Amino acid sequence: MKNSWLRLRVAATVTALSLGTAGLAVAAAPAAQAADTAGALVAKLPITSFGALVVDSAHQRVYLSDDRRTAGTGAVQVYDFAGEKVTTLATDNVPSTLALSSDGSTLEVGQTSGLISFDTATYARTGRIYGGYDVYCPRDAAFAGGRVWYTEATTTSDCDNRPYHLYGTSDGRAVTTGWNAPGRLRLFGAPQTPDRLIMAQPRSTTVTDPFLTVFDASGTTLVRNAERRFADGTGQGGLDVRDVAQSADGSLIAVADARTGTRLLRADDLADAATGYQPLPTGAVASAVAFSRDGKYVARGAAATGPTADLVVQAADPADATPPLEFAFEGELDGNKVVPRGLAWSEDGSRLFAVTNGGSGAEYWLHVIQPPAAQYDTRFAGALSTSAAQPVVGEPLGIRGRLEIDGPAPARPVKVTAVRHDAGGDRTLAAAEVDADGTFTVLDVPSVVGTATYTVSFTGDLTHRPTENVSLRTEVAKAPTSIALSAPAEGTKGVGLRITGTLTAQGRALPASLTLSVVRTDKRGTNALTSASVAADGTFTVDDVPGTNGEVVYEVGYAGDDVHGASTATATIRVRKPV
């Protein structure tokens, strides 16, 4: 498994962001502290789709729901802050959404037939609200104004385009609000703004300019305040919301927009904030956003490929130029992108929880991330070299180099990765472990003749920054072949003679049913003889009846192929007249 947690890009002279027991802090820590506080835990989740993630800091629990649209009962998965599964909460139908009350005492679970309430201290069911319909389409839910709000679509198909209705609750009963709109409406609440409910309309085939709106939920009637659509006069720029989060003081709203990145808005009127966040790394599509409760930091999740960051953790103040931490999830065993709405902080900011997706597409992981107190530089020292002066096709080749690492020794073996680029395209090679003295050898077996460029990378770990890639360009030759002949020293004119030999080759095995050219040169001239067939073990025979006396030279030749070079061998025989 790759070191898939972290790919950090920060200036070498800048102190990195860190997570401590009181949250992220900009501070240089002693090496021992950096090593002790570095950590990340990964748990494989028993779900095949993702619905919601909420964090109960009072009881140190993480709740996750499966959003699969199937019939039958379901369950909410419950984990602790160490990434260990604690229990499951059984539901009557498939649970699609979760909402935690402001005081953390009640977990509301949205299922197809309505809402179920659980006591977070005992996991006991404390209530149930039946929806207007037992529907197939998933619900969404959020707490605001001291009660839970939820959505419902009166349909059994095409859930992303049919009308959804917004309901409130009172005395354990559903109360219609009259608000509705096409698409699977998303609801967002936050403890720091207990009377604010945010609703976002998703983009779909029928909705190209979705809205974002803010409700005041403090009274008996839900009152809409700011509302905004984002398309320009030409219809371009419509919102594609994946997640919404509110700053710790409630003054800002961040939107993970798959089309434009992270939008930062003023909460009072939803106008763009005076200063926004820097763009996500090129190629990263925004999927999630979460503010730490202490008001210092924001985590921005994304879907990206390869070493491009899937998670950025930075100062919540967009004017703060402190370089962010960037995490790239690349491992086959822990996902490769952050899912929509897949980020949440613990209340004290000591942990960031992230849900990733990857593998077959129906696999999910929970990451419990605790970035270190300090980051240290790394670099490749000198140029790369090869273990063979002349690399050839099909022969093992070592790409050698040395990695220098500052700060504390890594907690686990350091590995470098490499990519070979040649006429056949790009190929990722097996990672190579770095020895204690920093040296490493990446092994490869070139498969194409011509120019090959090897690019070696160190993506960093939880205490060490990645280093700038280093490359080596080399020429790969055809694998050499050779022919060995065994012939008599003398022969007799008119009497048959036999020459035996063996064809050998480096690299790949020679193709079957090979033939070798045979040429005889004597005082009468040069003539081609019947070609010699090569057996599976490389042996062959040449039979001839010399027609003249004197010195006779036999030349056996192999023409080569796409990956093997040509070779020849000669044998000289003194032919005498018959007695």
pLDDT 10s digits, 330-342: 767 788 999 999 9
Provide the 10 A C-beta neighbour count for residue 436: 7
How far is 144 from 165, CA to CA, in rounded Å? 17
pLDDT at 135: 61
- Tell me the CATH number of domain 481-576, given options 2.60.40.730, 3.60.21.10, 3.10.20.30, 3.30.420.40: 2.60.40.730
Question: Residue for token digits 């890594």?
Answer: 410
Confidence of residue 74 (pLDDT cuts 50, 70, 90): confident
Rounded to 5 degrees, what are φ and ψ at 36?
-70, -35
pLDDT at 519: 98
How far is 508 from 360, CA to CA, in rounded Å? 34
Rg of the chain, C-alpha, whole Å: 35
How far is 577 from 579, CA to CA, in rounded Å? 6
DSSP string for residues in 222-270: -EEEEEEE---TTS-----EEEEEE-TTSSEEEEEETTTEEEEEETTT-
Mean pLDDT calculated for residue range 132-149: 83
Would you call 99 helix, strand, or coil by DSSP?
Answer: strand
pLDDT score of 536 more than 80: yes
Q: What is the spatial order of strands in the sheet that 261-266 belongs to?
A: 241-246, 252-257, 261-266
Lowest mean pLDDT among 59-68, 157-166, 265-274, 524-533: 157-166
Question: Residue for token digits 């020679």?
Answer: 510
How far is 21 from 27, CA to CA, in rounded Å? 13
How far is 462 from 7, CA to CA, in rounded Å? 9
pLDDT at 37: 30
Lowest mean pLDDT among 70-74, 233-237, 436-440, 464-468: 70-74
Domain ranges, ordered by start, for the chain? 34-370, 378-476, 481-576
How far is 521 from 571, CA to CA, in rounded Å? 11
Mean pLDDT calculated for residue range 452-460: 91
Mean pLDDT calculated for residue range 230-257: 94
pLDDT at 338: 97
pLDDT score of 421 more than 80: yes
Burial of 33 (0-12, 13-18, 19+ CB in 10 A): middle
* Residues of the chain above pLDDT 90, percent: 69
pTM above 0.75, yes or no: no
**Positive or negative torsion for Cα 553, 556, 559, 563:** negative
pLDDT at 408: 76
Lowest mean pLDDT among 145-159, 213-227, 346-360, 485-499: 145-159
Provide the 10 A C-beta neighbour count for residue 484: 13
pLDDT score of 394 more than 60: yes
pLDDT at 321: 74
Give the C-alpha distances (Å, rounded to integers) separating 12 from 75, 135, 379, 414, 520. 47, 55, 11, 20, 70
How far is 480 from 390, CA to CA, in rounded Å? 11
How far is 138 from 54, CA to CA, in rounded Å? 17
How far is 395 from 400, CA to CA, in rounded Å? 16
Confidence of residue 31 (pLDDT cuts 50, 70, 90): very low
How far is 164 from 16, CA to CA, in rounded Å? 44
34-370: CATH topology: Methylamine Dehydrogenase; Chain H (2.130.10)
Rounded to 5 degrees, what are φ and ψ at 331?
-75, 145
Give the C-alpha distances (Å, rounded to integers) separating 410 from 205, 351, 375, 413. 49, 21, 11, 7
Confidence of residue 28 (pLDDT cuts 50, 70, 90): very low
pLDDT 10s digits, 265-322: 999 999 999 999 999 999 999 999 999 998 888 999 999 988 888 999 888 999 987 6
Mean pLDDT calculated for residue range 110-120: 91
Domain 34-370 identical in fold to domain 378-476: no
pLDDT at 411: 65
pLDDT score of 32 more than 50: no
How far is 573 from 393, CA to CA, in rounded Å? 36
CATH of domain 378-476: 2.60.40.10
pLDDT 10s digits, 493-535: 999 999 999 999 999 999 999 999 999 999 999 999 999 999 9
Of 87, 47, 85, the closest CA to residue 67 belongs to: 47
Mean pLDDT calculated for residue range 140-166: 88
Mean pLDDT calculated for residue range 109-118: 90
pLDDT at 344: 97
Of 213, 119, 234, 217, the closest CA to residue 168 belongs to: 217
pLDDT at 573: 97
Q: Choose between 262 and 579: higher pLDDT.
A: 262
Mean pLDDT calculated for residue range 60-75: 83
Confidence of residue 24 (pLDDT cuts 50, 70, 90): very low
pLDDT at 19: 34
pLDDT score of 410 more than 90: no
Residues in contact with 209: Cβ distance below 8 Å, sequence separation at least 6, in sequence order: 229, 230, 231, 235, 238, 239
311-348 burial, b for 16+ CB within 10 Å, e for fewer?
Answer: bbbbbbbbeeebbbbbbbbbbeebbbbbbbbbbbbbbe
pLDDT 10s digits, 328-372: 887 677 889 999 999 999 998 889 999 999 888 889 999 999 865
